[in-house]
Amino acid sequence: MFELIPAIDLLGGKCVRLSQGRYDAATVYDDDPGAVAARFAAHRLQRLHVVDLDGAKKGRPCNRDAVRAILAAMKDVPIELGGGIRTLADVEEWLELGVERVILGTIALRDPALVKEAAHRFPGRVGVGIDARDGRVAVEGWLETSETEALTLAREFEDVGVAAIIHTDIARDGMGTGPNLEATGELASQIGIPVIASGGVGSLDHLKAAASRPEIAGVIVGRALYDGSIELADAIDVVDAIASAEAACS
């Protein structure tokens, strides 16, 4: 099933959104991430995506209190968390606290063996975040761009138990101009791991386009839910309608 995944990005304990990954272009939407999560939890969701932006930048988990508040508010809705998770101890800590899936980004490039070990220890509970700038992997909270291509990194994790890959086109993130479905679809078609698109969803038409791509497993929606461009209930209805139409044709 195609997954519609709302996002909460944390910076200084607040719910924010960045534009193209720029920390100096953060917009604060709410001082209470737990309250935001509770509003999301009022809808029928498959999971929630949470990013510890401070952690991604500093290289260690931050915003623990905010994540705990989100966990309490979401109750039975699974939460995936990324940002600053660089060790097996970090992975274990978050999973023990109730996070359903951890997303490993920088460490996937720096130490792929660690990601493979985590995926082996915790089957189905480890995802890989591949954030790309012009097709090349960016790390350290998007502050550094490597020479490694997104597909090269993704292939590193074939058949090791990684649950999903989240592919973000940094140039689209927070801009509302539409996700890079071409790049995400191309990546998804060349690997056997489910690939989720992230960055750029700004309208229901963007969502329809993503949900209509059979090779893409889901999409993460952030800013559009906060600025009112998309209502979550409408987004859920759109995804349900496409799923129903596809089921009727199969």
131 has catalytic annotation:
yes
Kindly indicate the confidence band of residue 221, based on its pLDDT and cuts at 50, 70 and 90: very high
- 124-159 burial by CB neighbour count: b if 16+ within 10 A, else e? ebbbbbbbbbeeebbbbbbeebbebbbbebbebbee
52 has catalytic annotation:
no
Judged against a pLDDT cut of 90, whether residue 64 lies above it is answered with yes
Across the range 174-184, mean pLDDT stands at 85
Judged against a pLDDT cut of 90, whether residue 135 lies above it is answered with no
Radius of gyration for the alpha carbons in the chain, expressed in angstroms and rounded: 16
If one compares 169 and 140, the residue with the highest pLDDT of the two is: 169
Q: Which residues pair with 219 in a beta bridge?
A: 4, 197
Catalytic pick among 9, 54, 90, 169: 9
Alpha-carbon torsion, ordered 160, 125, 118, 90, to 10 deg: 160
Catalytic pick among 52, 131, 169, 173: 131
pLDDT digits (tens, 9 = 90+) for 17-28: 887 778 887 899
Across the range 35-41, mean pLDDT stands at 97
pLDDT digits (tens, 9 = 90+) for 69-124: 999 999 889 999 999 999 999 999 999 999 999 999 999 999 999 999 999 999 99
At 46 the pLDDT is 94
Lowest-confidence range among 114-128, 166-180, 182-196?
A: 166-180
Helix, strand, coil shares of the chain as percentages rounded to 5? 40, 25, 35
Q: Which residues contact 63 (CB under 8 A, 6 or more apart)?
A: 10, 13, 52, 54, 55
Judged against a pLDDT cut of 80, whether residue 62 lies above it is answered with yes
Half-sphere exposure in the Cβ direction for 109 (13 Å, CA):
22
If one compares 170 and 190, the residue with the highest pLDDT of the two is: 190
CA distances from 197 to 29, 36, 213 (A): 23, 22, 11
Judged against a pLDDT cut of 90, whether residue 32 lies above it is answered with yes
Across the range 227-242, mean pLDDT stands at 95
Across the range 53-65, mean pLDDT stands at 94
